[in-house]
Amino acid sequence: MDGIVNNYENNIDYNMNNEVNIEDDMNYKSDPTSTRCQECGRKNNEYYCQPCNSVHFRNNFAYWTSGDSNLDKLIQNSQINADGSWKLIEWIEYSNLENIELIAHGGFGSVYKAIWKDGPIENWNFNKSEWRRENKTEVAVKKFRNVTHVSSDFLNEVNATVP
Ligand SMILES: [Zn+2]
């Protein structure tokens, strides 16, 4: 939980918006017939090896938490099952956002834009043994008013953003 602001509900919202951003990032295209995973030799789905990457994600489960076990489980499942980078959800620490600017207040709360410093995962960098990322990416951030816990409605909403 390092670097997370005290206001628990804000973290959930940051996370959710990054998910939305990932979902919107559907333009990533490559030739799936031309590549093989450097780790296991299987043909890739658009440079993304689901069996290998699910292991990389699992190995990192102990090193992050949203603070809510149901939300963690949802994020973990998306990471294990994703067969493309646009299908996975990540938990983003507040410290990984910068240039946060208010866009509008609404009935539910407020909308901001921000830069996600690391940006979303593209695929696994075999030589460096780390995720290859898009780097600085603009994301929308929603901050909900009067949220005190992760509701099942919220979990359903997040789940619905997973393709
Ligand atoms: Zn592989």
In three-state form (DSSP H/G/I as H, E/B as E, the rest C), the secondary structure along the chain is CCCCCCCHHHHHHHHHHHHHHHHHCCCCCCCCCCCECCCCCCECECCECHHHHHHHHHCCHHHCCCCCHHHHHHHHHHHHHCCCHHHCCCCCCHHHEEEEEEEEECCCEEEEEEEECCCCEEEEECCCCEEEECCCEEEEEEEECCCCCCCHHHHHHHHHCCC
Q: What CA–CA distance (Å, rounded) separates 153 from 132?
A: 33
Residue span of the structural domain in which 101 resides = 8-160
Question: What is the arithmetic mean of pLDDT over 15-39?
Answer: 51
Q: Which two tokens stand for residue 44?
A: 């890739």
Q: State how many domains the chain has.
A: 1
CA 40 to ligand 1 center in whole angstroms: 4
| Any domain includes 3 | no
| Any domain includes 69 | yes
| Any domain includes 111 | yes
CA 46 to ligand 1 center in whole angstroms: 12
| Any domain includes 2 | no
CA 48 to ligand 1 center in whole angstroms: 8
Query: Lowest mean pLDDT: which of 83-87, 119-123, 140-144, 149-153?
Result: 149-153
CA 37 to ligand 1 center in whole angstroms: 5
CA 69 to ligand 1 center in whole angstroms: 28
Name residues with Cβ closer than 5 Å to ligand 1, which is an ion: 37, 39-40, 49, 52
Residue 37 pLDDT > 60: yes
Q: How confident is the model at residue 46 (pLDDT cuts 50, 70, 90)?
A: low
Query: Lowest mean pLDDT: which of 25-29, 35-39, 144-148?
Result: 25-29
Packing angle between helix 50-58 and helix 69-81, nearest 10 degrees? 150
| Any domain includes 109 | yes
| Any domain includes 57 | yes
Q: What CA–CA distance (Å, rounded) separates 161 from 116?
A: 19
Question: What is the arithmetic mean of pLDDT over 101-129?
Answer: 93
| Any domain includes 21 | yes
